[in-house]
C-alpha cells in the first residue's frame, strides 16, 4: 500500500499509524533520507554462525545520570557508550558500532504543539500547521471535529501522543505507544541532539531470547528478555528533542529515553514510598506500618 498521500497531508496520523503497527516501520525510510533512519541489523541466522562471529551479546546494564531538557548534553554515544542496551545478535552489534553519533535507546512519544520555533501549531488561524515555516500541508488537516477536541479552553494539548498496543500482543508495537529509535547527535550539526528512528523492536526470529536462555543455560535471575519486556524494565525519562529529517525544520518532540536497567538487587528495582509530600509529624508508626504492609501485598 502507498502511504504517500497520508505522509503529505496528515503526518500526525501517519506516525500514529506506525506506532499502532498499521503502517510498516520500513515505510519511514521511504519518506526520510540520510541518517534519519538507522538500520538495526540481521537476526542470528544459526548458533554455529553466531558463535563464530562472537555472538550473541547479552543485555548491557550500564547506566548514566538521568537526563533532562536542560542537561541533555553529554549523553553517552556509540556502541561502547555506557547506557542500557538489549541483547543483540553479532550482526546487530556490528551494525550498531557503525553509528558513532547514536546513543541511548528511546521512543518517540509525541510532537510538541505551540507557537515557538519548531513547534507544531494546529490553530485554525494559521495557514500552515508548522508555525507558518513549513510550505508543506503535512500538519494542517485537522477537521473541525478534531479541533474541537482541543479542550474547553480551545488550546491544543501540549503534545500529540502516539498510540500503542493496549493488549501487549502485537509484534513490534509498544504497549504504551511510541515509535522506537535512538537519541544522538545530529549528523549535520554535532552540537544538537536529535531522535533517529530505528526498529530495534523488530521480530527476533527463530533464535530469540528464550532460545539463548535455554541454549546457553542462563540462570533464571539473569534471563534475557525480548526487547519489549527489556524496555519495560528500564528506567526512563522524557525529554524534548528534535526529530531530524521529518521536515525542512527539525520538529520538536517528546522523547522517552532509557537511562538505567536496574538489577533486581538494586534499590531502584523496588523503590520505596515517597513521604516527602507529607507534613512533618503526620506519618505515625501505625500509618507507616499499614503503608508498608499494603506495599508488600500483606493487606489489600
Assess whether 288 and 183 both reside in one domain. no
pLDDT class of 11 with cuts at 50, 70, 90:
confident
Assess whether 154 and 228 both reside in one domain. yes
Assess whether 261 and 280 both reside in one domain. no
Assess whether 141 and 281 both reside in one domain. no
Assess whether 100 and 200 both reside in one domain. yes
Report residue 7 as a C-alpha cell: 505522509
- The percent of residues above 90 in pLDDT, for the chain, comes to 32
The number of distinct structural domains making up the chain is 2
Residues 214, 33: Cα–Cα separation, whole Å = 40
Are 25 and 172 in contact by the 8 Å Cβ rule? The answer is: yes
139 pLDDT higher than 90 = no
Residues 231, 128: Cα–Cα separation, whole Å = 36
Assess whether 205 and 279 both reside in one domain. no
What is the pTM assigned to this prediction?
0.76
Assess whether 226 and 165 both reside in one domain. yes
Domain carrying residue 174: 4-269
Are 88 and 96 in contact by the 8 Å Cβ rule? The answer is: yes
Q: What pLDDT is recorded for position 289?
A: 59
Residue located via cell numbers 554455529: 48
Q: What pLDDT is recorded for position 40?
A: 94
Assess whether 261 and 282 both reside in one domain. no
Are 50 and 79 in contact by the 8 Å Cβ rule? The answer is: no
Residue range 171-203, pLDDT digits in tens = 778 877 889 999 988 766 556 778 899 999 989
Residue range 76-117, pLDDT digits in tens = 999 999 999 999 999 999 999 999 989 999 999 887 765 555
pLDDT class of 9 with cuts at 50, 70, 90:
confident
Q: What pLDDT is recorded for position 209?
A: 92
147 pLDDT higher than 80 = no
Assess whether 249 and 289 both reside in one domain. no
Q: Which residues pair with 181 in a beta bridge?
A: 106, 197
SS (H, E, C) 76-138: CCCCCCCCCECCECHHHHHHHCCCCCEEEEEEEEEEEECCCCCCECCCCCCCCCCCCCCCCCC
Amino acid at each position: 500500500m502507498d502511504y504517500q498521500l497520508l505522509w503529505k497531508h496528515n503526518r500526525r496520523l501517519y506516525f500514529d499509524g506506525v506506532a499502532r503497527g498499521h503502517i510498516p516501520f520500513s515505510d519511514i525510510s521511504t519518506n526520510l533520507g540520510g541518517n534519519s533512519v538507522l538500520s538495526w541489523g540481521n537476526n542470528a541466522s544459526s548458533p554455529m554462525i553466531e558463535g563464530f562471529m562472537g555472538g550473541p551479546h547479552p543485555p548491557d546494564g550500564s547506566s548514566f545520570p538521568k537526563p533532562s531538557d536542560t542537561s541533555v548534553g553529554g549523553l553517552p554515544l556509540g556502541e561502547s557508550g555506557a547506557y542500557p542496551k538489549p541483547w543483540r545478535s553479532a550482526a546487530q552489534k556490528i551494525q550498531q558500532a557503525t553509528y558513532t553519533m547514536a546513543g541511548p535507546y528511546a521512543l518517540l512519544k509525541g510532537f510538541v504543539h505551540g507557537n515557538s520555533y519548531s513547534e507544531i501549531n494546529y490553530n485554525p488561524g494559521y495557514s500552515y500547521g508548522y508555525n507558518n515555516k513549513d510550505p508543506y500541508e503535512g500538519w494542517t488537516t485537522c477537521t473541525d471535529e478534531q479541533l474541537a477536541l482541543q479542550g474547553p479552553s480551545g488550546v491544543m494539548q501540549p503534545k500529540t501522543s502516539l498510540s500503542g498496543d493496549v493488549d501487549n500482543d502485537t509484534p513490534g508495537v509498544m504497549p504504551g505507544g511510541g515509535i522506537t529509535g535512538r537519541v544522538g547527535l545530529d549528523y549535520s550539526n554535532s552540537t544538537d541532539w536529535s531522535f533517529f528512528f530505528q526498529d530495534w523492536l523488530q521480530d527476533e526470529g527463530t533464535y530469540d531470547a528464550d532460545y539463548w536462555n535455554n541454549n546457553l543455560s542462563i540462570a533464571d535471575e539473569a534471563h534475557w528478555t525480548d526487547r519489549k519486556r527489556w524496555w519495560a524494565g528500564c528506567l526512563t525519562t522524557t525529554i524534548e528533542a528534535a526529530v531530524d529529517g521529518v521536515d525542512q525544520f527539525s520538529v520538536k518532540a517528546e522523547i522517552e529515553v532509557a537511562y538505567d536497567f536496574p538489577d533486581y538487587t538494586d534499590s531502584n528495582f523496588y523503590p520505596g514510598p515517597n513521604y516527602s509530600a507529607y507534613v512533618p509529624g503526620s506519618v505515625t508508626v501505625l500509618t507507616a506500618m499499614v503503608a508498608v504492609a499494603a506495599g508488600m501485598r500483606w493487606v489489600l
